Structure 1
């Protein structure tokens, strides 16, 4: 089955390690046989691989881009994926991780990356800072100082 890539103007795609950049108009490429492909917009920069899921994604991406990394990286990615699987309790997230690992075993790294993207998004929600408290939820200044002092005053006393 052929893969059709619809490229936006100036979009890049990596096919079997070769960077292909589109010109100034939309274009469709048809890939007739299996190839390692990743769109430029899906490429994670090494300096952005700062969380466990992002590091796993980056390693799998490196396996897609470099056959030498692919030959030597399967043990490391298997260990990372096993840790991720046990770290997440949600069955849908565990399923994505298991599917990604299955795709790595089949050497279909693009599908592995696709399976991990929602896991990266979920990880981002877990690591996001909590929203700031609303002004109505914070006590007024006099009440706050009263609570902090621990002193109560009576009238007439």
Structure 2
């Protein structure tokens, strides 16, 4: 696995945080758990259920010292999401994510969770297209304004 990092960028590797001072490429010659800074979210960014799940999985990957505790939190959150969501695609994907975590493929689980953000937004807030078309209607047809 080869990574290219920009000056000042961080990468989390097996619980260590590395910051590079110049543009550099790193090649991992064996299996390693890593997460790029651009994929790390902070606690204050966990504004939706999936982002909270992502944060718990992220902790498993970047802080091996608390991996078991983070895993228990992840499992509790996942069970809650499976009981709450009704969307079949979401439920199917969450079950696959659970399987990934059970098989120690946390990095893959994080990628899959990120891909579900748009579906989550649609479930929680409705289709984006309706919001955009409503605003467009108001701009084009003044009589549509309340």
Task: Please report the TM-score for the alignment, with normalisation by the length of structure 2.
Answer: 0.78
List runs of 5+ in structure 1 lacking aligned partners: 145-157
Give 1:48 shift: 0.7
Aligned residues: 137
Q: Secondary structure at the match of 2:116?
A: helix
Q: Could you tell me which residue of structure 2 aligns to residue 108 of structure 1?
A: 105
Query: 2:11–2:18: 8 Å Cα contact kept in structure 1?
Result: yes
- How far, CA to CA, are the matches of 1:113 and 1:5 in structure 2? 18
In the TM superposition, 1:3-152 aligns within 5 A as 3-25=1-23, 27-86=24-83, 87-91=85-89, 93-128=90-125, 130-131=131-132, 132-133=134-135, 134-135=137-138, 136=141, 138-139=143-144
Give 1:128 shift: 4.8
Deviating 4+ runs (over 3 angstroms): 125-133, 137-140
Give 1:40 shift: 0.1
Give 1:102 shift: 1.5
Q: Secondary structure at the match of 2:11?
A: strand
Max Rg structure: 1
More helix by share: 2
- How far, CA to CA, are the matches of 2:92 and 2:11 in structure 1? 28
1:94-138 deviation digits (Å, cap 9, x = unpaired): 333222211211223211111100112322344458345422174
With 66-75 and 12-21 compared, the bigger mean Cα shift is at: 66-75
Task: Please report the TM-score for the alignment, with normalisation by the length of structure 1.
Answer: 0.73
Query: 2:56–2:71: 8 Å Cα contact kept in structure 1?
Result: no
